[in-house]
């Protein structure tokens, strides 16, 4: 399938690893020009270097950073067609999962919302004027299945992602008639650095359950979360759906939430 992304300009946040890196790679493969936004680059992102890739170093918790990232993108590529708000998860210095409502402090809540919600709001605000000028503008916000499945851990993260879901619906209503589609992709647990890094989610769950971290990664986490596929999601599987939603081939899809979660969400 030709996704009709050749020559289109996309800005992807959280682009140096995990889902964001997979999205950058997929969009480049589809012929798009991509501004990859992250605090710093990395070997995997550097390996994609070429005329169609711009790395924009930015800390999106800085209120001025989203507008600067958009400005750099438009300055370099001449416009903006697609925005992928992928940056999210634990803010710098935080480790998830966190158990119990009383665990996160006010500062934890503020940091979580700055990274997972306010950075999205500011990036959309900066991008909208350029997306309105595009012939088929698209925004894809990366949320989480936890935005619709509350539970007694990660209260701050879950609430921030629920807010992203609500924001997406509102944006789709306002800007859909003006030619900008807005959709959400809600991954389940994805095998990224959040899980695999030392001290990450696999280690936290291993410590809480007495299991081996490798056993957690190779099936234990999937069993705990009742994933019907029996494994964590591959970042490329999420990236493929994001690319499809960003494509003009999805011209009648807006305000949707697409789960790529291994069967994590059971709700109808």
Q: Which two tokens stand for residue 23?
A: 């999205």
Active-site hit among 77, 155, 157, 175: 157
Query: What are the CA-CA distances from residue 149 to residues 79, 156, 159 (Å)?
Result: 37, 13, 10
End-to-end C-alpha distance for the chain, whole angstroms: 30
CB 114 within 8 A of CB 216: no
Sign of the dihedral through C-alpha 84, 10, 258, 235: negative
CB crowding 171-196: b at 16 or more within 10 Å, else e:
bbeebeeeebbbbbbbbbbbbbebbe
Q: If DSSP codes are grouped into helix, strand and coil, which group holds residue 142?
A: strand
**Ordered DSSP codes for 172-191:** HHHHGGGTEEEEEEEE-SB-
| 155 catalytically annotated | no
Handedness of CA 25, 134, 118, 165 (dihedral sign): negative
**CB-facing half-sphere around the CA of 138: CA atoms within 13 A:** 27
Judging by beta carbons within 10 Å of its beta carbon (0-12, 13-18, 19+), is residue 41 exposed, middle or buried? middle
Question: Any idea which residues carry the catalytic annotation?
Answer: 157
């Amino acid at each position: 399938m030709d996704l009709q992304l050749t020559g289109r300009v996309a800005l992807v946040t959280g682009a140096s690893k995990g889902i964001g890196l997979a999205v950058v790679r997929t969009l480049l493969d589809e012929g798009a020009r991509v501004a990859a936004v992250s605090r710093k680059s990395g070997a995997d992102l550097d390996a994609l270097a070429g005329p169609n890739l711009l790395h924009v170093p930015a800390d999106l918790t800085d209120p001025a950073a989203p507008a600067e990232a958009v400005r750099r993108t438009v300055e370099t590529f001449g416009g903006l067609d697609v925005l992928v708000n992928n940056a999210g998860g634990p803010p710098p210095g935080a480790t998830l999962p966190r158990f119990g409502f009383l665990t996160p402090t006010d500062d934890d809540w503020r940091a979580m919302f700055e990274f997972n919600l306010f950075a999205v709001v500011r990036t959309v605000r900066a991008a909208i004027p350029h997306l309105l000028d595009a012939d088929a503008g698209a925004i894809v916000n990366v949320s989480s299945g936890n935005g619709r499945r509350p539970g007694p851990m990660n209260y701050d993260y879950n609430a921030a992602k629920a807010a992203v879901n609500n924001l997406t619906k509102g944006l789709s209503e306002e800007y859909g008639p003006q030619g900008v589609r807005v959709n959400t992709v809600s991954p389940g647990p994805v095998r990224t650095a959040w899980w695999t890094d030392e001290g990450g989610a696999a280690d936290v769950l291993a410590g809480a359950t007495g299991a081996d971290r490798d056993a957690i990664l190779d099936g234990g986490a999937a069993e705990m979360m009742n994933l019907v596929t029996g494994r964590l999601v591959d970042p490329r599987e999420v990236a493929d759906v994001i690319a499809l939603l960003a494509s003009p081939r999805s011209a009648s899809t807006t305000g949707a939430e697409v789960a790529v979660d291994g069967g994590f969400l059971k709700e109808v």
